[in-house]
Structure 1
Amino acid sequence: MHVLDDPAWNALTGPHAALAVGDDRARRYLPDMSPFASVADHGSDADWARLADLVGPGATLGVFADAAPAGWEAVGGHDCYQYVFEGADLPTAPALGDDARLVRLGEADVDDAVDLVERTRPGPFLPRTIDFGGYHGVRVGDRLAAMAGQRMRPDGWCEVSAVCSDPQWRGRGFAVQVMLAVMRGILDRGERPFLHVETGNQRAVAVYERLGFTRRARMNVLVCRSSAAA
């Protein structure tokens, strides 16, 4: 199996072990960082029950699975393509314009990042998601117009995540700017970028393919709720 077949498990038991809660059969990210979780070897019913016991009844998680495991209820899902970047060079970033600047984002920017996520819906962004690091944004004046960061880090790879751009400034290449900044940081560490995009988001797919990403697999991100007894 390839490490990207279950990037959550291979990150939680690898480079992100310090950010994990659980044991050698079931793990999740710290609750205020990410809702992603997984179990070993795609899991037996006992492993999924172990995860349910870990998080408690009513907890909602994101897992790479095609159907809700025993003891869990599916409450949503995302049909995604997984893309990987295996090129040698990054393309040249477009010019920003005199009114915009590329910035590195940190804890002081969390409120602005949450506001942008609420307006653009790229995926979950929690109070400590910024701690995954590598976040970059484009500001126009004091306004955060676009951002991207990193998330799961299975061995040798790092996920580009939370890519979003305010509709007010779309078409100016801001999303490309922040993505390239994130990708450059990943490559400088000797890792390879990968990402997930919903299959219906053809606008984003076109951008990622222009940047040199190639489609590796189709993945289902299942949003499920634990029904384990307390």
Structure 2
Amino acid sequence: MSRLEGKVAIITGSGRGIGKAIAKTLALEGASILVNDVDEEVAEETADELRELNSKVAVAAGIPEGDVTDESSCIRMVEKARRELGGLHILINNAGVTRDKVIHKMTDEMWNLVLKINLKGIMFMTKAACEHFKQQRYGKIVNMSSMVGLGGNVGQINYSASKAAIIAFTKSIAEYLASYNICVNAVAPGIIDTRLTRQIPEEKFASYERSIPMGLGTPEHVARVVLSLCSKDFDYVTGQTILVSGGLII
């Protein structure tokens, strides 16, 4: 029997990159998936690929349906998963953005956008899902943080702040939900080969890659850790942050 047979997962920001890899990895283990992204085209592409894996799929994409910063949209996503996929057991809070600048070049708009999507979006999705999880006395929540949430990054003050806050949020919600048999954990990826990291200037990217003892990470490396956290193997683990950096941070 597959590790997630009969389980239903919402994965925010699953149209591409790490979110898409998580969706495919969970689907291969039997989970039904609600694909979420503000980009309708990439969300539908991911959904089609999941259907080819024989996964049951629903889609909540575009604006406002796929907007994690809109509380009513988050509530509708949970309702859609329950209605179209038969329940909800797993929430992966993966949606996020970057607007990188050093502090003297950081604008209010850049700061607010990153905090709104990366942090407020997680709060709204968790709030929408956890009442259902509490009623069924079961749930798995995985929040995507980052290694910069642990160590900071000079050119990513807004992103680093949001990812550090996610770690504290994870611990707080884990403590609140533990007695309901709900596990809440975070994953902190290091430098992963995605569309976003490939936007780093080539010379700088090569320098980053050389600094990783185990080499450049892939979205699948992160996805397999998320899968483990969602499985029975981690039913007694909550409030933790798992660093996936290939030895870059030890």
Q: Which structure: greater helix fraction?
A: 2
Higher RCO, 1 or 2 (CA under 8 Å, sep at least 6)? 1
TM-score, normalising length: structure 2 = 0.28
Q: Which structure: greater strand fraction?
A: 1
TM-score, normalising length: structure 1 = 0.30
